[in-house]
Amino acid sequence: MRRPLIRKLEKFTRLSQADKDMLLRIAAQRVRRFAAREDIIHEGEKPEFINLISEGWACRYKTLQDGRRQIIAFFLPGDLCDLNVFVLKEMDHSIGAITPVVVSEISRTAFDEMMIGHPRITQALWWESLVAAAIQREWTVNLGQRDALERMAHLLCELFIRLEAAGCTSNSSCEFPLTQTELGETLGMSTVHVNRTLQELRASNLIVLKDRTLTIPNLKALQDVALFNPNYLHLDREGRHLDANEE
Amino acid sequence: MRRPLIRKLEKFTRLSQADKDMLLRIAAQRVRRFAAREDIIHEGEKPEFINLISEGWACRYKTLQDGRRQIIAFFLPGDLCDLNVFVLKEMDHSIGAITPVVVSEISRTAFDEMMIGHPRITQALWWESLVAAAIQREWTVNLGQRDALERMAHLLCELFIRLEAAGCTSNSSCEFPLTQTELGETLGMSTVHVNRTLQELRASNLIVLKDRTLTIPNLKALQDVALFNPNYLHLDREGRHLDANEE
DNA sequence: AATGGAGATTAACATAGGTAAGGTCGTTGC
DNA sequence: GCAACGACCTTACCTATGTTAATCTCCATT
């Protein structure tokens, strides 16, 4: 019933019923569950599968020798980890569950099989992987140029819009399972400063964040604070833009 | 005579003579030159070609509305910009020359032609693009977790090792055309602090940087300061490691 | 030789954000 | 029931880094 990948890919292109059936079939082949905080794959291992997150939140992260940890990316429902990972000999980072997650493991043969005869899927998956790269670039800008408030606002905008594309929002709210520690590891700031920054956003009525639920009463206003330009998410299928209402 | 791309790809796999001839032929088809500081492609344009930097340095960058600029990646001789860029409708960032550069433009058809019948090339190009993604991730870690000194040291290590892979170093030196302003835009720090940081590295005899030439007398020592782990560059073809001597 | 500009350097001062410590609250386990 | 814990929040203090602005050094022009 929840098909976040399909929902997301259809932001980019139209899929036939056969395409959708194929995606659902592949995703059903090998399903694994992980507990919150459990590693899905660890640095140094040889990757054997493409992982599709079908439920829950996960993250890519790296740890320095002295223990500092940086979260490099979030995987939300419908996100794929590393389409072409088969080329590499070993993982240079880890992927860990944030909440309990359900993951579909896609083998190389299943993946190749899917690409053959489904050009729409193929193209849509390339799009998804290019968007992932664009997000990584935007994070570089975020960490390099924006101050704490802008940075936090930018992250919240991005996550909200991505969740919306996957069908995981209702009105102006979404589940938001990240702890302040995880936010700090993402944005390169201390938990104390994460807290200060969230307080400031709350005081300006830009966000409501309580009981693992995030509400953004006025997305446009938050985007303005963040200097957020959604173009890097490439969600506009026909020159349609994100500030126009969706669906 | 200088074939940085081939040299680099051979770090990953062996190429046949036919493979090399093909690469050289493709690269010779459309050659363009750009002056230093000139844009190769600008945000908002529709990308028509894969760009191969054959001489000089270029960078990917993004500018915020208020003018702050972040350099997101460097392109060194032998680097390719965005293999699969044909999928996207418009650039979400710009690519600019740092020095005068020579660029080979590779059209979609030329690219497809090259992939057919040259599986080694195909695989090597995927490898190159996955390494580019890994570098982007490492930059996220760099900006998020390392302090100014570590950050600078890390960048210098990375650039030196990449230049080495492209055959652009001699002994422990390489050309280094970046201004302190550009270093600041890369590392998210003010030019004043870039200057302080470079002084500190010089004072510790970790680098010699003068007249656009960088010398790293003791790479291992600089790597230690940077908490630099070269695994993300995936340069070890047979489990060989970078600290072992190359070639 | 004088002029001008880009880049590098330095100093004096200001501040965003880090560190350390501790407190509250709710949940889990015994 | 209470101990232990994890998330969160807060305060006080400290430091890495930013800001501003002045100076210096090369080069390239004229």
For residue B88, list chain A residues with Cβ-Cβ distance below 8 A. 127, 130, 234
Range from B108-122, B156-170, B185-199 carrying the lowest mean pLDDT = B108-122
Judged by DSSP in three states, A97 sits in: strand
- The whole-angstrom separation of Cα B128 and Cα B140 is 19
Torsion-angle region of residue A46: left (phi > 0), alpha (psi -120 to 50) or beta? beta
Q: What is the pTM of this model?
A: 0.94
Q: How many residues make up chain B in this entry?
A: 247
Distance from CA of B52 to the nearest CA of A (A): 18
In window 150-189 of B, residues with CB < 7 A from nucleic chain D are: 188-189
Check whether residue B198 has its CB closer than 7 Å to nucleic acid strand D.
no
The bases of strand C with some atom under 7 A from any protein CB are 6-12, 16-21
Per-residue model confidence (pLDDT) at position B236: 76
Band of residue B241 on the pLDDT scale cut at 50, 70, 90: very low
Q: Which of B133, B138, B227 sits opposite A133 (nearest CB)?
A: B133
Q: Residue B246 has what DSSP assignment?
A: P
Check whether residue A199 has its CB closer than 7 Å to nucleic acid strand D.
yes
- The whole-angstrom separation of Cα B214 and Cα B156 is 9
Check whether residue B190 has its CB closer than 7 Å to nucleic acid strand D.
yes
CA dihedral A34, A36, A37, A43 (to 10 degrees): 30
Band of residue A239 on the pLDDT scale cut at 50, 70, 90: very low
Per-residue model confidence (pLDDT) at position B240: 38
In chain A, how long is the greatest CA-to-CA distance?
A: 53
Check whether residue B148 has its CB closer than 7 Å to nucleic acid strand D.
yes
CB contact under 8 A, A143 and B144: yes
**Interatomic CA–C1' length for residue B202 and nucleotide D23, angstroms:** 22
Distance from CA of B205 to the nearest CA of A (A): 23
- The whole-angstrom separation of Cα A95 and Cα A40 is 5
Check whether residue B201 has its CB closer than 7 Å to nucleic acid strand D.
no
The residues, ordered by sequence, that sit 6+ positions from B14 with a Cβ below 8 Å of its Cβ are: B120
Average predicted confidence (pLDDT) for chain A: 93
For B43, the token pair is 């945000």
For residue A87, list chain B residues with Cβ-Cβ distance below 8 A. 123, 126-127, 130
- The whole-angstrom separation of Cα B244 and Cα B239 is 11
Q: Which of B90, B137, B188 sits opposite A136 (nearest CB)?
A: B137
Q: Residue B45 has what DSSP assignment?
A: S
- Beta-bridge mates of residue A39: A96
pLDDT in tens, A139-179: 999 999 999 999 999 999 999 999 999 999 999 999 999 99
Distance from CA of A133 to the nearest CA of B (A): 7
In chain B, how long is the greatest CA-to-CA distance?
A: 53
Band of residue B242 on the pLDDT scale cut at 50, 70, 90: very low
Provide the total of helices (H) and of strands (E) in chain B, helices listed first.
8, 12
Check whether residue B149 has its CB closer than 7 Å to nucleic acid strand D.
yes
Mutant choice from A140, A142, A155, A238 vs B, greatest count of B C-beta within 10 A: A140
Per-residue model confidence (pLDDT) at position B188: 98
CB contact under 8 A, B234 and A73: no
- The whole-angstrom separation of Cα A140 and Cα A117 is 37
The bases of strand D with some atom under 7 A from any protein CB are 6-12, 16-21, 27
Per-residue model confidence (pLDDT) at position A2: 65
Q: Which of B127, B140, B186 sits opposite A87 (nearest CB)?
A: B127
For A85, the token pair is 């990972």
- The whole-angstrom separation of Cα B105 and Cα A50 is 32
Mean pLDDT of A109-123: 92
**Interatomic CA–C1' length for residue A37 and nucleotide C30, angstroms:** 25
Q: Which of A87, A89, A187 sits opposite B126 (nearest CB)?
A: A87
Q: Using alpha carbons only, what angle is made at residue B212 by residues B76 and B186, rounded to the nearest 5 degrees? A: 55
User: Helix, strand, coil proportions of chain B in percent (round to 5)?
Assistant: 45, 20, 35
Residue B68 has pLDDT above 70, yes or no: yes
Strands B39-41 and B213-215: unpaired
CB contact under 8 A, A137 and B66: no
pLDDT in tens, A191-205: 999 999 999 999 999
Per-residue model confidence (pLDDT) at position B243: 40
Q: Tell me which residue of B52, B136, B126, B39 sits closest to B91, measured CA to CA.
A: B39
Alpha helices (runs of H) in A92-190, residue ranges in sequence order: 108-115, 119-145, 148-165, 180-187
**Interatomic CA–C1' length for residue A197 and nucleotide C22, angstroms:** 21
CB contact under 8 A, A145 and B70: yes
| Alpha-carbon B14 to chain mean position | 21
Residue B153 has pLDDT above 70, yes or no: yes
Mean pLDDT of B74-93: 93
Q: Tell me which residue of B186, B220, B192, B188 sits closest to B206, measured CA to CA.
A: B220
- The whole-angstrom separation of Cα B157 and Cα B179 is 17
CB contact under 8 A, B72 and A140: yes
Give the number of other Cβ atoms within 10 Å of residue A243's Cβ.
Answer: 10
Torsion-angle region of residue A229: left (phi > 0), alpha (psi -120 to 50) or beta? beta
Residue A134 has pLDDT above 70, yes or no: yes
Range from A137-146, A236-245, B35-44 carrying the lowest mean pLDDT = A236-245
Give the number of other Cβ atoms within 10 Å of residue B107's Cβ.
Answer: 15
Band of residue B237 on the pLDDT scale cut at 50, 70, 90: low
pLDDT in tens, A78-101: 999 988 888 899 999 999 999 999
CB contact under 8 A, B87 and A141: no
Per-residue model confidence (pLDDT) at position A242: 38
For residue B87, list chain A residues with Cβ-Cβ distance below 8 A. 123, 126-127, 130
The residues, ordered by sequence, that sit 6+ positions from B192 with a Cβ below 8 Å of its Cβ are: none
pLDDT in tens, A53-72: 999 999 999 999 999 999 99
Per-residue model confidence (pLDDT) at position B238: 52
For residue A69, list chain B residues with Cβ-Cβ distance below 8 A. 145
**Interatomic CA–C1' length for residue B224 and nucleotide D15, angstroms:** 23
Q: Tell me which residue of A232, A52, A96, A218 sits closest to A158, measured CA to CA.
A: A232
The alpha carbon dihedral of A230, A234, A235, A241 has a sign of: positive
